[in-house]
Amino acid sequence: MPDEPPFDLAGCLERVRRNDQQAARELVEHLYPLVIRIVRARLPRRVPEEDLAQEVFLKMFSRLHQYQGSVPFTHWVSRIAVTTCIDHLRAQQRRPEFRWADLSENEANLLDAVMTNERAVAPDDALEASELVHKLLNQLKPDDRLVIQMLDLEQRSIAEISEHTGWNTTLVKVRAFRARRKLQKMFRELQRKERT
């Protein structure tokens, strides 16, 4: 089976600028995997992923005339997706305090075991660990959450985060530091409180 030719992004953008709707559809289909991965990783509660992806693409088309080509187009779209998710996360009410009661039985058992034994999580518990990590991340400010998620979960470098968010590297480091401090505080609080 012959390989598909690489997508001509520059040519496609040129056609979209000339109001070619077929090119615009091709652009959406080409960028959808990138956008949906960003949206899924930072999806706010109660917001369907498709609605958020739709919002990202509509913003992309409405701001297309602002794109000057100083950064790769995919980075520019990533920034739109990231800021759209952050705006939705900011609009959500965060819980003032994280409690044991917020966790399912399995998550609470896992956290208890990890905190008391400081042992590695068993492969069978990976799904609970993932849920738990996301619940903890939800307690952070959206900007801090994004940085720590990209650093620790997606294992991106500071420079990569800077490219995808448009924030300078110092700001990324400050946000990472703030997020880690908040996480440490949360763990200490949980350890201090009796599990009910």
Partner 1 sequence: MTPEDKVWQNLVSAARSVRDDRTTAAPYGFATRIVAQAFAAESRPAPMLLDRFCWRALSVAGLLAVAGVAANYTVGLRSEEEMPLDETAVTAVFDIS
Binding site for partner 1 (CB under 8 A): 19, 21, 24-26, 28-29, 32-33, 36-37, 40, 50, 53-54, 57-58, 61-62, 111, 114-115, 118-121, 123, 125-127, 129-130, 132-134, 136, 152-153, 155, 180, 183-184, 187-188
Nearer to partner 1, 63 or 90 (CB): 63
Q: How many helices (H) and strands (E) does the chain have?
A: 9, 0
Nearer to partner 1, 169 or 184 (CB): 184
Nearer to partner 1, 17 or 168 (CB): 17
In the complex, the smallest distance separating the C-beta of residue 63 from partner 1, rounded to whole angstroms, is: 11
Nearer to partner 1, 93 or 117 (CB): 117
Is residue 102 a contact partner of residue 139, using CB atoms and an 8 Å limit? no
Nearer to partner 1, 93 or 155 (CB): 155
134: enclosing H helix or E strand:
helix 126-137
Alpha-carbon dihedral sign for residues 66, 68, 73, 79: negative
Nearer to partner 1, 36 or 158 (CB): 36
Quote the CA–CA distance of 40 and 61 in Å, as a whole number.
21
In the complex, the smallest distance separating the C-beta of residue 171 from partner 1, rounded to whole angstroms, is: 22
In the complex, the smallest distance separating the C-beta of residue 32 from partner 1, rounded to whole angstroms, is: 4
The gap between the terminal CA atoms of the chain, to the nearest Å, is 60
In the complex, the smallest distance separating the C-beta of residue 97 from partner 1, rounded to whole angstroms, is: 17
Nearest residue to 67 via CA among 29, 36, 27: 27
Tokens of 56: 């990202």
In the complex, the smallest distance separating the C-beta of residue 108 from partner 1, rounded to whole angstroms, is: 13
In the complex, the smallest distance separating the C-beta of residue 179 from partner 1, rounded to whole angstroms, is: 10
Concatenated DSSP letters of 21-85: HHHHHHHHHHHHHHHHHHHHHTPPTT--HHHHHHHHHHHHHHTGGG--SSS-HHHHHHHHHHHHH
